[in-house]
Structure 1
Amino acid sequence: MTTDTLHIVCPHCHTTNRVRVEQLSHQPDCGSCKAALFTGHPTALDEAAFDKHIARNHIPVLVDFWAPWCGPCRTMAPAYEAAAKQLEPRVRLAKVDTEAVPSLGGRFNIRSIPTLALYVNGREVARQAGAMGSADIVRWVSAKLPS
C-alpha cells in the first residue's frame, strides 16, 4: 500500500475500500455497495462495525457514545450532525448507542454520556465528556488530531 492510498470503511456495508488521497474530496463510492463513502452524517455502529471502523479506517474516527434517554445526548445530536458535514472526509463520525450496545460502553469505560472519543490508527487519542456545540466539536477534533 502506498501512502497516497487510504483504507476507508463504507458507512453502509462496512466493506474496506482503497481510495486515493486526491479522490477523498470527490465523493468516492464504495466498490461493493456503490453507496457514497462520505455522507455528511454520523454512522451508527454496532460492536462488529465499531471494531472494523476503528481498526481499518486510515482516517481518524470520532465516536459519540450516547443513549436515547439522555437529554444532553439528544441536545447534542444536531450539533454532531453539523460537525459531520464539516469534518468529513478528513474524519469519519460515528455514533454508538450505549443502550443498544452496552458491551462497547463497558469495554471503553464510558462513565458519562455523551462522551466523544477520537481514534487515530486504531488507538484512542482523546476523550471529552459532555454535550458540545458543532463549532466546539470541530475545534476540539482539530486540536487533537496529529499534525
Structure 2
Amino acid sequence: MGSHKVSLVKDVATRQQCMDYLLKDLRALERMIERGMFDRGVRRMGAEQEFAFVDERWRPAPVLMEVLEQVKDEHFTTELAVFNMEVNLDPQKIGGSCFSDLERQLGSYLAKADKISSALKAHPILVGILPSIRRSDIGLKNLTP
C-alpha cells in the first residue's frame, strides 16, 4: 500500500520542483500520443465511484485506512478524507452488457467494503459529498495521510 505525503509549498525552489515534475509528466504524455501508445479502434469506458463511510448516526466514520489494510485490492484507493474512499472499476468495451457488468462489479466492491467496514461499526454509502458532514469534520485530523 502506498502513502501520500502532502505539504504546502512554502518556497520558490519547491514550487519550481513541482512545476518540473508536472512538465515532465506532460512531456511523457506527449511522447505517448506521438508514439501511438493509446488504443485505437476499440472504444472503452471506465468509471470510478466514491464511497463515504458512516456510523450508525450517519456521521462520518474515519475507517478508511483500516479498510484499505484489510481489503488488499488495488481497485480501492484513498480519497481526501479518512471517511471516504474511491473504487476504480475495470475498463469495459462499450457495447453489449458493459453497463450491467459495471453495475455488477460495483455491487461486488460495495459488498466487500461493507463486510470489512461493518466489523469497524461503519458502512459505505455511494455519495460524493456526505450531507451529514460538519465543519468540525473538516480539518487536518481527518485528512488522508
Fold-level similarity (TM above 0.5) = no
**TM-score for both structures, normalised by structure 1:** 0.25
Larger radius of gyration: 2
Is the strand fraction higher in 1 or 2? Answer: 1
* Greater RCO structure (CA 8 Å; 6+ sep): 2
**TM-score for both structures, normalised by structure 2:** 0.25
